[in-house]
Amino acid sequence: MPPPAYRQVGVMIDALNGYGLRILDGIIRYAQQRSDWRISFFDRERKELADLVGTWKGDGIICTATDSRFRDSALERKIPIINVTGRSNDPAFINVIGDDRAAGAAAANFLLDRGFRSFGFIRRRENAIFSTERSRGFTETIAAAGFKAPIFAVSPSGDDELTEWISKLPRPLGISTSGDRQASMAIESCFRLGLRVPEEVAILGTGNYEQLCELCSPTLSSLDIDMARRGFEAAQLLNEIFEGKPRPEQAILVPHAHVVERQSTGAYAFKDNDVVAALRFIRENATRTINVRDVVAATKISRRSLEGRFNKLIGRTLHDEIWKAHFDLATRLLASTDLSLQETAERSGFRTASALVNLFRQRYGQTPKEYRVANRR
């Protein structure tokens, strides 16, 4: 029997939040490549969706499946149904979700790199999988570095309890959270306590819900968990299943993107002012070509003294830190923009496209183009 002229794809995504809209962005980007797809978007109440999933005549569904009635109805279907919400990893569905433990580890490393030695993690009170995994990744990484990270489970109305918890933690303090809403609550708690953010308490959210992050005072730094890529990979996987690829037995884990730095993490906790000055200079000048002499000139001590103190505190040489800043910026530009290789090289301190290609291949074992294809958002 010849394949159908088109595939009917149902999209049942909660679009009434910033994350849902970004998932849709990824689905749209993939669907635009498919002339044989016809999309049906259903923006309904949960009860209506639970009824609809059991009766809708189509070839496959991408959804945010959190309702038990929806699950029960979906189990009766013979079509592929892909779940993209991190609240569930139900084997009844094909799950394309975030690598939340890795995201928690990345948040921990971000704060460790800024010199913090006192930590806390704020998670949602309900036991959503993504929240549990992010807290686990954070606390495991902090423990591996030789420190502790107490966890506080906050409810939407738990401001007073959160404020009391923060007041008892040693400072300077680095806090990470399972989501941006919890981080915004932490900023408000610090305001009530008279604590300066980020000088006394640095706060890092997760999700990069841009409107919320920009509304916070100070603005909130956040780990972007790349919802658009999740939507794209879910749509791509659905099409592969249409073409005969077997259903994956385990959840597909989509990696996070990077920390979007704003004001709430703008401080370093190292007590060595010259090392802090060097770090600031390197980060602020990652867009241009700099060398160790330039970094030393931004401090008040000799090169030998700075290199020794920097390596002891950071665990990397000044030279390595400079290149880390260049590569961090280049990877962000490759993943999130359509800049040419030459433009990317110029904006991340590599000067030429050929230098970027050669050095990138040495460091990552792949070309910038290959990296962009694998990590495009």
Residue-wise pLDDT tens digits, 304-363: 999 999 999 999 999 999 999 999 999 989 988 889 999 999 999 999 999 999 999 999
d(CA 67, CA 52): 13
pLDDT of residue 18: 67
Q: Are 282 and 322 in contact (CB under 8 A)?
A: yes
Summarised one tens digit per residue, pLDDT across range 2-30 is 556 889 999 988 876 668 889 999 999 99
d(CA 194, CA 273): 24
- Residues (pLDDT < 50) of the chain are none
Topology agreement, domain 7-98+227-254 and domain 100-226+259-265: yes
Q: Are 92 and 53 in contact (CB under 8 A)?
A: no
pLDDT of residue 176: 98
pLDDT of residue 350: 96
Query: For the whole model, what pTM was predicted?
Result: 0.86
Distance of alpha carbon 131 from its chain centroid, rounded? 13
In CATH terms, 100-226+259-265 corresponds, of 3.40.50.2300, 3.40.720.10, 3.20.20.100, 3.20.20.20, to 3.40.50.2300
C-alpha gyration radius of the chain? 23
pLDDT of residue 17: 66
pLDDT of residue 70: 81
pLDDT of residue 38: 93
- Rounded to the nearest 5 degrees, what angle is found at the Cα of 241, between the Cα atoms of 236 and 242? 95
pLDDT of residue 352: 96
Other beta carbons within 10 Å of 45: 9
pLDDT of residue 298: 94
C-alpha distances in angstroms, 191 versus 160, 161, 167, 266? 12, 14, 11, 17
Provide the residue ranges of all domains of the chain, joining segments of one domain with +: 7-98+227-254, 100-226+259-265, 273-375
pLDDT of residue 37: 95
The CATH-assigned architecture of domain 7-98+227-254 is: 3-Layer(aba) Sandwich (3.40)
pLDDT of residue 3: 59
In CATH terms, 273-375 corresponds, of 1.10.10.60, 3.40.50.300, 1.20.1530.20, 3.40.1010.10, to 1.10.10.60
Beginning with the edge strand found earlier in the chain, give each strand of the sheet holding 94-98 in spatial order: 37-41, 7-12, 60-63, 81-83, 94-98, 252-254
